[in-house]
Amino acid sequence: MLYTLSGLKQEYGDRTVLDIPRLSIDEGDIYALLGPNGAGKTTLLNILAFLSRPSSGSIRFRSRDVAFSEPALQRLRREVIMVDQAPILFTSTVYRNVEFGLKVRRIPAKQRHRMIDEALDLVGMSPFAHAMAHQLSGGETQRVALARALVVEPGVLLCDEPTSSVDAEHQAAVVAILKRINREKQISIIFTTHDRLQAVALGKQTIYLDQGRPVSNGLENVFPVTLTPTLQGQVECAVPGSICLTLPASAYCGGTRQQRILIEPARLSLVDAATPNPNANRFEGRIIQLSEEKGQIRIVVDVGIWLHLLMEPDAYRRSPPLVGETVAVSIPPEAVRFM
């Protein structure tokens, strides 16, 4: 086990930022730390990086109790490296930035050169080795920061929203880099995000935080499906033992028949179950949960699978559904995204 947290709290005055009764994180995986802004993701990441001490509770790292003394923390910080959301590079070359951690560790110059070349190649920044770091774009800066972290050969890499400040092209590159270093270097990775799609696409495991507490509904509406093309130019997406969605073939970009889909809660709608069914993707079920969530109404409907919907308060007030009521859920094709 990589981390085991027990009774962990982080408090600032009378405000509790984190309250985690128990949490275990396996070694060797990629974990997505998911949640809205202010959920406590960065606070938890700083504690896992041994940069902050929790107000109370205990941490075990690789099956050993963590002593929050400075000598012990210094040793742990050599195993766990954190890359900030907006990393700051020195006003020198890319090469010198990546070299810094190795010089601190007194690695011989010949060995440093080999390690720097390998790290820059891993993140696709070898052509920029002698470029001035402060002149790089946001995506290039993020990749150099990853190289600077990787060159010291950590066992654990923590990334705070690694794609939030980069363009779409560099987002894809950063995601590919993180997958590669986990696969090839066997480095455990924990990254924060508020993007559910990115959490599913990159993370092998997901921890969802809400108001500082781990909750279970962070990845609602993510399902495995089996795909079957039809003669009508469509594709059927069968959720095992449950519903089957019919989508235009253009919605599916290819790959194996076994896929995962995300059905976006905010794009779903309720319709009267007695109304004639003009839509193939309409499924009847019973409302099993109603709750208010950050200015919206969350509705959970059991249609053979649990579907989560988000409804605006005005729409809810006009026709409030009740727990136990039978309704129909309409799933438009644009609500379905392939993982």
Please give the CATH topology (third level) of the domain spanning 222-338. Answer: OB fold (Dihydrolipoamide Acetyltransferase, E2P) (2.40.50)
| Residue in the structure block whose two tokens are 């963590």 | 66
**Best CA proximity match to 282, nearest among 306, 303, 260:** 303
Q: Which residues of the chain have pLDDT under 70?
A: 216-219, 251-255, 273-279, 293-294, 339
283-302: b or e for each residue (b if 16 or more CB lie within 10 Å)? bebebeebeeeeebbbbbbe
Pairing mode, strands 30-34 and 188-193: parallel
Per-residue pLDDT of 263-322, as tens digits, reads 888 889 898 766 666 667 899 999 988 887 667 898 989 998 888 899 899 988 988 989
Three-class DSSP category at 137: coil
In this prediction, residue 38 carries a pLDDT of 82
Distance in Å from the first CA to the final CA of the chain: 28
Query: Domain 3-215 - what CATH class?
Result: alpha beta
Distance CA 26, CA 156 (A): 11
In this prediction, residue 203 carries a pLDDT of 84
In this prediction, residue 257 carries a pLDDT of 80
In this prediction, residue 165 carries a pLDDT of 77
Q: Quick one: angle between helices 168-185 and 109-122, nearest 10?
A: 120
In this prediction, residue 100 carries a pLDDT of 95
In this prediction, residue 55 carries a pLDDT of 96
In this prediction, residue 294 carries a pLDDT of 64
How many angstroms separate the Cα of 117 from the Cα of each of 105, 177, 183, 239, 263?
17, 16, 19, 46, 42
* Same-fold call for 3-215 versus 222-338: no
Q: Where are the domains of the chain?
A: 3-215, 222-338
